[in-house]
Amino acid sequence: MTNGSFIKIGILAAVLAFLSGCGRPPDPSVNKPGGLGIGDKAADFALMDNTGHVMRLSDIQEGWSLVLILFRGHWCSACQNQLINLKDDYPKFAALHTALAAISVDTVDESAHFAEEWRFPFPLLSDTQFQVIDAYGARHPGGHEGKDISKPAVIIIDPQKIIRFKHVGTSPVDRPSDEEILFMIQQMEQKAGKK
């Protein structure tokens, strides 16, 4: 073999290693036991919503907080009730400069049908690759018909993209009420105003 052949093989090996993920720094959120927690920088994400648009953490309006609602799926009655309640209370969240986004492993098509049925004023994001669900330690292995889904969870992220509240439920009905979430946001804003 010539030196040129060795160089080509070396370049090819480097490209293949890069494409397979070798040499890429691991995502710290995935390796952290229990996922990201209070005080951590929120995990960035890029997920398709029910209209086919990609939403990113950076899309949140400057100065606004974000509440991520991780839910089991459109078929879950406890999840439906939670999202309908959030729809009804949506003006209260907007008054506190807080955006909402609901995340599940539902496909974009499933999310589109679910959103069309209930006319949610916030996006339903499809996380079929567990990008956000795993970042927050909310995966429920075999949770529905043998398939992995998300545990019910609520994450509150402040305008500086810091996690200020995290609750991962231990059962389908274990989730904070809208009143509790709104109270946490109000407390967070009061603390920020005192600084």
Tens of pLDDT, residue by residue, the chain (195 residues): 454 544 444 444 343 333 333 333 334 444 577 899 999 999 999 999 999 999 999 999 999 999 999 999 999 999 999 999 999 999 999 999 999 999 999 999 999 999 999 999 999 999 999 999 999 999 999 999 999 999 999 999 999 999 999 999 999 999 999 999 999 999 998 888 766
| Beta strands, E only, the chain | 46-49, 54-56, 65-70, 98-104, 124-126, 139-144, 147-150, 153-157, 163-168
Do 24 and 39 lie in one domain? The reply is no
Do 22 and 103 lie in one domain? The reply is no
Of 104, 102, 170, 161, the C-alpha closest to 133 is: 104
The predicted model scores a pTM of 0.83
Do 53 and 11 lie in one domain? The reply is no
Per the structure, how many domains does the chain have? 2
Give me the CATH number covering residue 82: 3.40.30.10
CA distances from 8 to 1, 18, 20, 22, 24 (A): 11, 15, 18, 19, 22
Backbone angles phi, psi at 81, to 5 degrees: -60, -40
Per the structure, the complete domain to which residue 97 belongs is given by 32-194
What pLDDT sits at residue 192?
82
Do 24 and 37 lie in one domain? The reply is no
Do 45 and 113 lie in one domain? The reply is yes
